[in-house]
Amino acid sequence: MLSPAILIPAILNGLLTGAVYALVALGLTLIYGVLHIINFAHGALLTAAMFAAYFANRWLGLDPYVAAVGLAPLFFALGYALQRCVVGPAGRGDDRNILLVTLGLAVMIENALLYVFRADTRTIDLPYAFDTIAVGPAFLAVPRVIAFAAVVAVALAVGALMRWTDIGKAIRAVAKEKLGAELSGIDAAHVYAVTFGLGTACLAVAACLLLPSYYVNPSAGNAFVLIAFTIVVLGGMGSVAGALIGGLIVGVVESLSGLWLGESLGQVGIFIVFILVLLVRPRGLFGEHA
Helix (H) or strand (E) holding 69: helix 64-81
- Return the number of the residue (86 or 145) whose C-beta is nearest another protein: 86
223 binds another protein (CB under 8 A): no
Tell me the β-bridge partners of 50. Answer: none
Task: Please state, in angstroms and rounded to a whole number, the distance separating the CA atoms of residues 142 and 272.
Answer: 31
| Contact characters 24-43, another protein, x per CB under 8 A | --------x---xxx-x---
Instruction: Select from 143, 218, 238, 242 the one that contacts another protein (CB under 8 A).
Output: 218
3 lies in the binding site for another protein (CB under 8 A): no
Residue 86 as a binder of another protein (CB under 8 A): the answer is yes
* Nearer to another protein among residue 123 and residue 267 (C-beta): 267
Query: How far lies 192's CA from each of 80, 82, 87, 237, in Å?
Result: 8, 11, 10, 16
Piece of the chain touching another protein by CB under 8 A; list 55-63, 187-195, 207-215, 264-272? 264-272
Q: Residue 40, SS3? A: coil
CB of 271 to another protein, least distance (A): 5
Distances (CA, A) of 286 to 125, 176, 254, 263, 279: 40, 16, 21, 29, 16
In angstroms, rounded to a whole number, what is the distance separating the alpha carbons of residues 104 and 122? 26
SS3 label, residue 139: strand
Decide if residue 85 touches another protein (CB under 8 A).
no
Binding site for another protein (CB under 8 A): 32, 36-38, 40, 86, 89-92, 95-97, 99-101, 103-115, 118-119, 218, 222, 226, 229-230, 233, 262, 264-265, 267-268, 271-272, 274-275, 278-280, 282, 290
